[in-house]
Chains A and B, each alone.
Chain A
Amino acid sequence: EVQLVQSGAEVKKPGESLKISCKASGYSFTNNWIGWVRQIPGKGLEWMGIIQPGDSQTRYSPSFQGQVTISADKSISTAYLQWSSLKASDTAMYYCARDGSGSYYTPNWFDPWGQGTLVTVSS
């Protein structure tokens, strides 16, 4: 069974750094892109970016370019999303999701999704 398991909820202060994880199992980790999606409480889904774990190629949505870093460690089948300096506006649920199309050039549908990691940033 293909599964993505995310790290637990985090409570941080503004200005702190954070790295959350998404561990994949049940398939060859380097075959499929993995994306990250933000959901602010009570709001909709927003694509943040995506990584191809095989060669670490990344693509960011313009709104998140320079705001976060997406990485992956293929030796442990884990993708990461990190911030160097958190803001209160980063408070949200963050989901990882695997591209199910298997396409290297046009990953375009995502399944399964991780259970989500709630990040709360408050002084």
Chain B
Amino acid sequence: QSALTQPRSVSGSPGQSVTISCTGTSSDIGGYNYVSWYQQHPGKAPKLMIIDVSKRPSGVPDRFSGSKSGNTASLTISGLQAEDEADYYCSSYAGSPWVFGGGTKLTVL
């Protein structure tokens, strides 16, 4: 099972918006509405940010939003804040097992 493709890094200034893409295939992202996104700060465990492509779990700020088109999912973070600087990983159900993206490092300038 190949990893999903994410950009290695993105950056933005406080208050701006950034979008992280996650490209897979019809066997994973394109085949199911089971895309989730995780945020990981250095030395910490991953934290769930988005489920089922676009739903926010309780406690996740509404600055975080998710979407999908075809085989590509996206995470958009609006109104960037310093604490958003972290690694972000997409994940998709792929008919058991699952697959992660390679991760994207978000830098807040």
Binding site for B on A (CB under 8 A): 35, 37, 44-47, 49-50, 59-63, 95, 97, 100-101, 106-116
Contact = CB atoms under 8 A, between A and B. Distances in A.
Nearest to A44: B103
A44 B98 contact: no
A106 B34 contact: yes
Nearest to A95: B45
Given A62-B1, A95-B45, A100-B48, A44 B97 contact: no
Contacts of B91: 45, 47, 109-110
A43 to B, nearest CB: 8
Contacts of A107: 93
B18 interface: no
B77 interface: no
Nearest to A43: B103
B102 interface: yes
A61 B97 CA distance: 5
